Amino acid sequence: MATLGMAFSVLEHAEHFSAVGRWQSVADLWTPEEILAELVSVEETNHAPFLLDAGAICHFDTLLHADRKRCGWR
Protein backbone atom coordinates (compact mmCIF):
# COMPACT_ATOMS: atom_id res chain seq x y z
CA MET A 1 0.00 0.00 0.00
CA ALA A 2 1.37 3.39 -0.99
CA THR A 3 2.21 5.70 1.89
CA LEU A 4 3.22 9.32 2.28
CA GLY A 5 6.64 7.99 3.31
CA MET A 6 6.99 6.39 -0.13
CA ALA A 7 6.02 9.67 -1.75
CA PHE A 8 8.72 11.46 0.23
CA SER A 9 11.22 8.79 -0.86
CA VAL A 10 10.34 9.42 -4.50
CA LEU A 11 10.73 13.16 -3.97
CA GLU A 12 14.05 12.70 -2.14
CA HIS A 13 15.31 10.50 -4.98
CA ALA A 14 14.18 13.11 -7.52
CA GLU A 15 15.97 15.88 -5.66
CA HIS A 16 19.12 13.80 -5.33
CA PHE A 17 19.14 12.92 -9.05
CA SER A 18 17.65 16.17 -10.38
CA ALA A 19 20.71 16.73 -12.58
CA VAL A 20 20.26 13.30 -14.20
CA GLY A 21 17.71 12.80 -16.93
CA ARG A 22 14.23 14.12 -16.27
CA TRP A 23 14.13 13.77 -12.49
CA GLN A 24 14.24 17.56 -12.23
CA SER A 25 10.63 17.72 -13.40
CA VAL A 26 9.51 15.50 -10.51
CA ALA A 27 11.55 17.49 -8.01
CA ASP A 28 10.18 20.82 -9.26
CA LEU A 29 6.60 20.05 -10.25
CA TRP A 30 5.27 17.29 -8.00
CA THR A 31 4.28 17.57 -4.34
CA PRO A 32 4.35 14.59 -1.97
CA GLU A 33 0.54 14.54 -2.01
CA GLU A 34 0.47 14.41 -5.83
CA ILE A 35 3.04 11.64 -5.85
CA LEU A 36 0.97 9.69 -3.34
CA ALA A 37 -2.18 10.21 -5.43
CA GLU A 38 -0.35 8.85 -8.49
CA LEU A 39 0.85 5.81 -6.56
CA VAL A 40 -2.61 5.10 -5.16
CA SER A 41 -4.12 5.44 -8.63
CA VAL A 42 -1.65 2.91 -10.04
CA GLU A 43 -2.35 0.52 -7.16
CA GLU A 44 -6.10 0.74 -7.82
CA THR A 45 -5.66 0.25 -11.56
CA ASN A 46 -3.28 -2.70 -11.23
CA HIS A 47 -4.88 -4.23 -8.12
CA ALA A 48 -1.37 -4.58 -6.71
CA PRO A 49 0.16 -2.54 -3.88
CA PHE A 50 3.55 -0.90 -3.80
CA LEU A 51 5.39 -2.75 -1.06
CA LEU A 52 8.74 -0.95 -1.10
CA ASP A 53 9.96 2.58 -1.72
CA ALA A 54 12.06 1.19 -4.58
CA GLY A 55 8.90 0.12 -6.40
CA ALA A 56 7.47 3.63 -6.15
CA ILE A 57 10.72 5.13 -7.42
CA CYS A 58 10.79 2.63 -10.30
CA HIS A 59 7.23 3.60 -11.24
CA PHE A 60 8.24 7.25 -11.56
CA ASP A 61 11.36 6.28 -13.50
CA THR A 62 9.10 4.42 -15.92
CA LEU A 63 6.86 7.47 -16.21
CA LEU A 64 9.82 9.70 -16.93
CA HIS A 65 11.02 7.51 -19.76
CA ALA A 66 7.65 6.48 -21.18
CA ASP A 67 5.68 9.71 -21.09
CA ARG A 68 7.72 12.89 -20.89
CA LYS A 69 4.70 15.17 -21.22
CA ARG A 70 2.85 13.56 -18.29
CA CYS A 71 5.80 13.98 -15.94
CA GLY A 72 6.41 17.57 -16.95
CA TRP A 73 2.85 18.62 -16.27
CA ARG A 74 0.61 17.96 -13.29
Q: For the chain, 74 residues long, give each residue's pLDDT as a single digit of tens.
A: 999 999 999 999 999 998 877 888 899 999 999 999 999 999 999 999 999 999 999 999 998 877 555 545 44
List Cα–Cα distances, 34 to 7, 27, 40, in angstroms.
8, 12, 10
How is the chain split into domains, by residue range?
A: 4-72
List Cα–Cα distances, 56 to 23, 46, in angstroms.
14, 13
- pTM over 0.85, yes/no: no
